[in-house]
Amino acid sequence: MTGVQTCALPSLKQVIPVEVVKAEYSLGINNKLTTSGKTIAYETHAIKSNINGRVKELNCSLGQYVKKGDILAILDTEQIDYQIELITQEYELKKKKLDSIKKLLDKNLVSYVEYANYEIEYLNTKQRYYKLLDDKTNHYIVAPSSGIVEEKLVVNGEFVTQKDKIVVIHDIQIVKVGFNIDELDYQKFKSAKQSYVNIYLPALDLSLKLSNFKTSEIAQEKNHSVYIEAFIPNDDNLITPGLFVNVDVIFSDDRSEEHTSELQSHSFISYAVFCLKKK
């Protein structure tokens, strides 16, 4: 008797999800130059005193981030405060006197010429009053822009004269990365159809690709190199001046292309297997 034994495996179905893959390849040969550099403030502002006076307060510390309009230092205001107090009393008296003369003028008890003379006195006093208020603002040293305090050049109690430097501020809304490359490499980099700079800041564990940047071409005669400064937006003020930077300068004669492909979902079915055996 011949018997048939059937062994079957269950049907299995496996679904592969959709996955988007970006593939970048170059049609030419990339050249990479590795060097190092450091971060530099975009601009440095030396804040100066507008008047002569003694430093009463310093309201900033080294490394502190300050905003535009913040008060960095205050010069002694004792003398001008006293002058303002006197002129305020005079100003208020002149105003009351003018109001009284105006009432008499309305009743034809004084001439207009007499009233005009009082008005001139009042306006002169008013002008002196507001000028002293404006002069007092010069006792406040304010930040012209946001940035980091790099240096304090005075101490409390020190007498300063007009145009003396008080504080130095680094503007870091944009940060520069400065580095040198060989002059011949720079010419290749400049003439390449595609070029960009990859930088890595170890202190922040931060990598950035600079595909659009400006350069400051300063030739270094001693070593025949070119100094380059790349500009990085720094809206969050994360990057500060003086940080060490690893720099990879990439340039090629042909354009790299990036393609995106989408792998579709596929269903794989394993079929049942029948084993036939003779007895």
Give the C-alpha separation, 174 to 238, whole Å: 11
pLDDT at 69: 93
Task: Tell me the pTM.
Answer: 0.64
Give the C-alpha separation, 11 to 69, whole Å: 74
Q: What amino acid is encoded at 44 in this protein? A: T
Task: Provide the terminal-to-terminal Cα distance of the chain, rounded to the nearest Å.
Answer: 7
Q: What amino acid is encoded at 147 in this protein? A: G
Which residues are 268's β-sheet partners? 14
pLDDT at 195: 81
Beta strands in the chain (DSSP E): 12-15, 19-26, 30-48, 53-58, 65-66, 71-75, 140-142, 147-152, 159-160, 165-182, 194-201, 206-210, 218-220, 225-233, 244-252, 256-263, 267-270
Residue pLDDT tens, the chain, 279 long: 444 444 444 444 444 444 444 444 344 456 888 999 999 998 999 999 999 999 999 999 999 999 999 999 999 999 999 999 999 999 999 999 999 999 999 999 999 999 999 999 999 999 999 999 999 999 999 999 889 999 999 999 999 999 999 999 999 988 999 888 888 888 888 888 888 889 999 999 999 988 766 655 555 556 677 888 888 888 888 899 999 999 998 887 654 444 444 444 444 333 333 333 444
| Centroid of chain to Cα 110 | 64
Element (H, E) at 118: helix 112-137
Whether the Cβ atoms of residue 198 and residue 250 lie closer than 8 Å to each other: yes
pLDDT at 40: 92
CA dihedral 204, 208, 213, 219 (to 10 degrees): 60
